[in-house]
Structure 1
Amino acid sequence: MQTTLTTRATDRSPAFVVVTAMTPLVLGLMAYAADETSGLARAVLLALFSSGAAWGLAALVIGFLAPGRRLAIIAGVGGLIGATVVYYALIVFVSRRWQGGWLEDGTPADVMGLWSIARALGFWLVVSVVAGAVFGVLGDAVARASDRVGAAAAGVAWGLAAASGIHDLLVLARWVGWNGQATDIAVSAAMTIALATLVVAVLRRRRGPRGSGGMLALAATVSSGVGTAAWWLVESVRTAV
């Protein structure tokens, strides 16, 4: 059994290196690209590259491919931190959206704009550390734990990743009217849930022999509820910051 696990870890090592190296660049660049588009194209890019699901699932895949749990955590955290830094570096040095504002007394608001970006960067770096560690551990469990524990880890990963989409759909349900913006949000939310389902299904299949479907369903149900509540808190804190 140990030989089999070692062989599987070795087989995944090249993919682990590539995915870990590319995650910061791809997520950071594409999340920035989503900000520069609008309409349905923006909704799609947000779901695939700039949603909580997309970033959490990236760390999940890194954890799944990692040779061990410790490296899964380090690489998962590092990948999301790197992506966050790339994204905000592009805002500061490329789009420079913090420039051009003016205070009521006529003085430039550039310093306040930079301070706002710095606060957002700090907030999302903290989130990246937590999410990278959690999803890294879950990815490692999906790959190497027993069938029952692996199924539970897959269910938790799905629930936490899909929670951002579920949260957005619940927010939309409270809207009085419906317009193009609501449609884009609904499309993006549905895609994040579909993305979570696809990635977890693929990782479960790559794991090999599997079972405990009931455990997976139970873990997914509970974690999606907890994750959705957590997103309400994240959104509240982010707004305050």
Structure 2
Amino acid sequence: MYVVCSVLAGVVTGVAAFAADFAPDPAGRILLAIASSGFSWGLVAFIVGYFAPARRVAATASVGALALAVITYYVLILLLSDRWRQPLGSSSVSKLDEFSPVMRAAAFWMLGALLGGLILGCLAQLARAGCPRNSGIAFGVAFGLLAGEAIYTIFYFAFVWVGPLDSFVWARLQPAVLQLLLAAAATSVALWFRRGTLFFPAAIAAGAISTTASVAIWHLVQTARVTL
């Protein structure tokens, strides 16, 4: 049953991300925040790993769920979407060149799925079954990873953005704030499921360090996405 649920989680994540891409605004921005973001995909890996019967199973299942989500998403892109196709009249472009952007993007996010699934799967298992100190560290690191994209967005528009605070900015800040609140809520629910003591100083310290590192990672991710 656990394997079936993990497979379904991966497929549903990929389908939901694909559907969110085509939802009209303003609902589309909210759907992207909860179905096609670093938070949502990371949460899937964390949940799959949290309920795994063992740490090795948690890592494998979390990686598998995210990899399946990537495969599902990009298969749907290739089959049902034409946004990667060259404009009409570009007859000199081969099929391989036409779909090379989606292949590069798929490879990029597959690498992210492998690394993110491995890390969050192990963290989830440690958060659930570790000693109070180790569990606190795991919860803190997991929160930083889940909230990283949202905090990066808020930080960017608060300290880096030099343009006006117009509708463009608010349209991106609102989903980021929602992701941040959902990350806090998800971590709180996971803590409630643990039903055990936690060393909160370790959780707070680990959360601060993890959040800082996660913001830096998302800066690199956003930079890399421009070249895809």
TM-score bracket for the superposition, by shorter chain length: over 0.9
Are 2:148 and 2:214, in contact at CA under 8 Å, matched by a contact in 1? yes
Task: Confirm or deny that 1:160 pairs with 2:149.
Answer: no
Show the 5 A alignment for 1:130-141. 130-141=115-126
Are 1:100 and 1:109, in contact at CA under 8 Å, matched by a contact in 2? no
Task: Confirm or deny that 1:238 pairs with 2:215.
Answer: no
1:113 to 98, 105, 108: 98
Q: Distance in 1 between matches of 2:127 and 2:225?
A: 31
Task: Confirm or deny that 1:128 pairs with 2:113.
Answer: yes
Q: CA deviation at 1:151?
A: 0.9
Runs of 4+ in 1 over 3 A off after TM superposition: 16-19, 105-111
SS of 1:39's equivalent in the other structure is: coil
Q: CA deviation at 1:117?
A: 0.4
Q: CA deviation at 1:168?
A: 1.0
Q: CA deviation at 1:59?
A: 0.5
Task: Confirm or deny that 1:55 pairs with 2:41.
Answer: yes
Are 1:39 and 1:181, in contact at CA under 8 Å, matched by a contact in 2? no
Q: TM-score scaled by structure 2?
A: 0.93
* Structure 2: tracts of 5 or more residues without a match: none
Are 1:101 and 1:110, in contact at CA under 8 Å, matched by a contact in 2? no
1:214 to 201, 208, 225: 201
* Structure 1: tracts of 5 or more residues without a match: 1-13
Paired letter, 2:37? S
Q: Distance in 2 between matches of 1:179 and 1:35?
A: 23
Report the RMSD for the aligned CA atoms in angstroms: 1.7
Q: Distance in 2 between matches of 1:154 and 1:160?
A: 10
1:185 to 172, 190, 196: 172
Question: Structure 1 residues 220-229 or 173-182, which shifts more?
Answer: 173-182
Q: Percent identity?
A: 29
In structure 2, the residue matched to 1:32 is 18
Closer/same/farther in 2, CA of residues 183 and 109 from structure 1, 3 Å limit: farther
SS of 2:66's equivalent in the other structure is: helix
Are 2:63 and 2:114, in contact at CA under 8 Å, matched by a contact in 1? yes
Aligned pairs, number: 226
Are 2:135 and 2:198, in contact at CA under 8 Å, matched by a contact in 1? no
Q: TM-score scaled by structure 1?
A: 0.88
Q: CA deviation at 1:210?
A: 1.8
Q: CA deviation at 1:124?
A: 0.5
Q: Distance in 2 between matches of 1:106 and 1:49?
A: 36
In structure 2, the residue matched to 1:10 is none
